[in-house]
Amino acid sequence: MTEIAIFTLLHLLVFVYWLGGDLGAFYTSRFLIKPGISTDRRMLAAKVVNDVDMAPRTALILAFPTGLTLAHVKGWISLPLPVLVIVWLAALGWLALAWTIHMKHGAAPALWRKTDLAIRWALITGLVAAALWNMAGEGSLPLFLSLKLLALAGCTGFGLFIRSVLKPLGPALMGLSGPDAPAAEASLAATLNRARPLVTGIWALLVIAALLALFKPV
């Protein structure tokens, strides 16, 4: 019972910090394009958004190991202890990489960024393959867990799309203090407007995943 309580709490904290951090970053991003805000304050808002966004990024990385361990201790799946240890070590290693990249403030080596990107694509592929394999009746994973795997894959995919959409954000912020400030401001607003539907897509998938955990369809 102690193990169940601990890993249930950890998995709930993943949900809370993921959704809460996303909401905080989403709200703060409005100050990047709010009329009458000075460039200095916009840059400060951008830093706050970037820092707060590490909460959902951390939660994404920890979602799978906490969920997998919780499923094991609840008896929904049975895994050897070495497998769980390997999963946790891999997740913590990825988490350390993600935080190191963040702390470099854009100066992280390209290899680190490519490694992080490769891990995300590998995670998406593995989650989708595992979910479909079980849903086809080849595995023993309950349906609600297979659907949660798809939701996590979807969240990871949305996150990658958001990265792509936000690429013009840096140059637009730098251009706010230059002679083409109006064009930079317009680019900033357009970039954030394109990203918002993707962010709300992540929220929807998180709520669906939480509902699946409560409803537990067979």
| Tokens representing residue 136 in the block | 């086809």
Q: How far is the first Cα of the chain from the last one, in angstroms, to the nearest whole number?
A: 23
| Those residues with Cβ within 8 angstroms of residue 9's Cβ, 6 or more apart along the chain or in another chain | none
Indicate the burial class of 50 (C-beta count within 10 angstroms; 0-12, 13-18, 19 or more): middle
d(C-alpha 114, C-alpha 105), whole Å? 16
CB 151 within 8 A of CB 209: yes
Instruction: Report mean pLDDT in 10-residue bins for the chain, 218 residues.
Output: 91 94 91 83 89 96 96 92 96 97 88 96 97 90 94 97 90 80 86 93 95 82
pTM value is 0.92
| Those residues with Cβ within 8 angstroms of residue 116's Cβ, 6 or more apart along the chain or in another chain | 94, 97, 98, 101
CB 55 within 8 A of CB 14: no
Q: How many residues are present in the chain?
A: 218
pLDDT value, residue 108: 86
Q: What is the pLDDT of residues 53-72, one digit of tens each?
A: 999 999 999 999 999 999 99
d(C-alpha 194, C-alpha 197), whole Å? 7
CA angle 202, 206, 193 (to 5 degrees): 20
pLDDT value, residue 172: 85
Q: What is the pLDDT of residues 127-156, one digit of tens each?
A: 999 999 999 988 888 999 999 999 999 999
Residue span of the structural domain in which 109 resides: 2-215
Work out how many domains the chain is built from and give that number. Answer: 1
CB 124 within 8 A of CB 154: no
